[in-house]
Amino acid sequence: MHRHFDRRSLFRSAGGLVLLGGLLPQRLLAAPLGQNPFTLGVAAGDPWPDGFVIWTRLAPRPFDEHGGMPAAPVPVRWDVAEDDGFVRVVQSGETLARPELGHSVHVELRGLRPHRHYWYRFMVAGSDSSPIGMARTAPAAGAVVDRVRIGVAGCQHWEAGFFDAWRHIAGEPDLDLIFHYGDYIYEGPRLPLGERIVRQHIGDEIYSLDDYRRRYAQYKSDPHLQAAHAASAFAATFDDHEVDNDWAADKDQDGTPPEYFHLRRLMALQAWYEHMPVRRAQLPGLHGIIAHRRLDYGRLLRLHLLDTRQYRTKQRCGLDGGEHCRPVEDGGGSQMLGAAQEAWLDEGLGGEAGWNLLAQQVMLMPFRYLESRAQGRYNLDSWSGYPDARSRLTQLMQKNNLTNVVVASGDVHKHHVGLVPMREHDLEGPAAATEYVSSSISSGGDGSDIPPGWEDILGENPHSNLVNDRRGYQLFTIAPGQWRTDVIGLDRVSVRGGNKHQVAAFVTLPHQPGAHPA
């Protein structure tokens, strides 16, 4: 189907929508904006064999009330084409950008062909088309697939550095998907004392829906982040900073009454939904959001996108004690995924996929830090604070006889490569999975290859193959017989124009966990 777009047809079809939406035509026709409403770019996400989500948010003046939009629904047209010139348009349609959702739109495309690239754009009466985005559908169910390529990134503190890593990701050839492990925004007003601020957040710590929207708008105003979204579909998840540092279920780090924190979390997750290219199934409700989901790439790969925040028990107390934490002597029963998500994962791990990717947020493998930190030698916000939940997870892998599990994580603002041991304290013993922890886009600032004082860290962690403190990202090139991970670092993020380099490359084989130098 080829449909030429012009202003008159939009007005006609806007009139058509009126019947569906029960709105007065004048209300819709009053919408022409006369200003570019696509200041936050476009995005695609969660590919499936015959489609993916396409996203935009209308915000001609993103930091003003309602993003500069009228307080009314506004019709948005969209086109999907087989070429970037939109000569072969295969689908077009119309949707409403509603003020209830910050004038964001999420369209779930259907009926496209498997494992093919498509281009998409949006149009609003009275303004130019949006930037053009590209995304690739997933292979058909059960298809034999030669190769899938996935970028991994997250932790993009606005104030800590420029987003040139996103520019480099946007330039990576042939990506099927970008997995975002979270910390897409940071909720705080300022970086901690002593960290270098390269550009400033607008406003104080964020609490209200408007605050969160403004923060997303600020981050999304970055051209490099927009370029990455335009270049590939994302699989978006959230970690703590999309809501509040180190939150756990309905508890924050300060001991706020859970019924109050729950309201803040609801607004934060609504804003997350509004700004991410995710399906309607991820629309939050009063009780939270269903963020764990699966993406299949034929017979080659199954991605299990996990939620390690909403259902976890409170962090264990460190050596320094603390008020708002779980006492060490609390014993077993700690939850990271919650019983329902664990059961869902168990069911999904039993499939026939050549590879299983656990795409999640915080480091799964135990990791011993050298310095005696106030917390102790383990990061208690990671799975190391939830050892019995971790044991249950590795038992799931063993129960399903899996040797092909790869874990992708982030959170620590460093690259880590290593093995997840089957037994908690037997770091050199048999491994349940291979883990690739990707460094941050900007959080942590410039960094260095080895942080000062960390020269002996690998000696303390014999299951670990690499630690690197450069900003950057990782690339997974996944084939039936081999999984290759390229670890990419940036020379600096404190000034614009940072260059990328390859820090290392590893190969994992499907019959046994391991990370072998490529």
Q: Quote the least distance from Cβ 157 to Fe ion, whole Å.
A: 7
Please give the C-alpha separations between residue 213 and each of 38, 104, 160, 216, 372, in angstroms, as whole numbers: 15, 11, 20, 5, 39
Q: Quote the least distance from Cβ 308 to Ca ion, whole Å.
A: 10
Choosing among Fe ion, Ca ion, none, which partner's interface includes residue 240 (Cβ < 5 to 8 Å by kind)? Answer: Ca ion
Q: Quote the least distance from Cβ 8 to Ca ion, whole Å.
A: 49
Tell me how far apart the alpha carbons of residues 230 and 119 are, in angstroms, rounded to a whole number. Answer: 9
Choosing among Fe ion, Ca ion, none, which partner's interface includes residue 443 (Cβ < 5 to 8 Å by kind)? Answer: Fe ion
The number of beta carbons lying within 10 Å of the beta carbon of residue 29 is 14
Where along the sequence are the contacts to Ca ion (CB under 5 A)?
183, 239-240, 411
Choosing among Fe ion, Ca ion, none, which partner's interface includes residue 341 (Cβ < 5 to 8 Å by kind)? Answer: none
Q: Quote the least distance from Cβ 240 to Fe ion, whole Å.
A: 8
Q: Quote the least distance from Cβ 240 to Ca ion, whole Å.
A: 5
Q: Name the one residue in this structure whose structure tokens are 């005696």.
A: 372
Query: Which CB atom, from 38 or from 238, has the smaller least distance to Ca ion?
Result: 238
Choosing among Ca ion, Fe ion, none, which partner's interface includes residue 164 (Cβ < 5 to 8 Å by kind)? Answer: none
Query: Which CB atom, from 240 or from 252, has the smaller least distance to Ca ion?
Result: 240
Q: Quote the least distance from Cβ 62 to Fe ion, whole Å.
A: 23
Query: Which CB atom, from 172 or from 187, has the smaller least distance to Fe ion?
Result: 187
Where along the sequence are the contacts to Fe ion (CB under 5 A)?
155, 183, 443
Tell me how far apart the alpha carbons of residues 402 and 510 are, in angstroms, rounded to a whole number. Answer: 9
Q: Which residues pair with 431 in a beta bridge?
A: 421
Contacts of 297 (CB under 8 A, 6+ apart): 138, 139, 145, 148, 176, 303, 478
Contacts of 105 (CB under 8 A, 6+ apart): 55, 56, 57, 58, 76, 78, 95, 96, 97, 122
Query: Which CB atom, from 160 or from 300, has the smaller least distance to Fe ion?
Result: 160
Choosing among Ca ion, Fe ion, none, which partner's interface includes residue 79 (Cβ < 5 to 8 Å by kind)? Answer: none
Using the Cα atoms of residue 355, residue 367, residue 364 and residue 485 in order, give the sign of their dihedral.
Answer: negative
Please give, one letter per residue, the 3-state secondary structure of 41-61.
CEEEEEEECCEEEEEEECCCC
Tell me how far apart the alpha carbons of residues 163 and 366 are, in angstroms, rounded to a whole number. Answer: 30
Comparing CA positions, the residue from 386, 387, 382 lying closest to residue 416 is 382
Query: Which CB atom, from 173 or from 194, has the smaller least distance to Fe ion?
Result: 194
Q: Quote the least distance from Cβ 182 to Fe ion, whole Å.
A: 7
Q: Helix, strand, or coil here: 105?
A: strand
Query: Which CB atom, from 166 or from 186, has the smaller least distance to Ca ion?
Result: 186
Choosing among Ca ion, Fe ion, none, which partner's interface includes residue 252 (Cβ < 5 to 8 Å by kind)? Answer: none
Strand pairing report for 472-479 and 482-490: antiparallel
Query: Which CB atom, from 73 or from 410, has the smaller least distance to Fe ion?
Result: 410
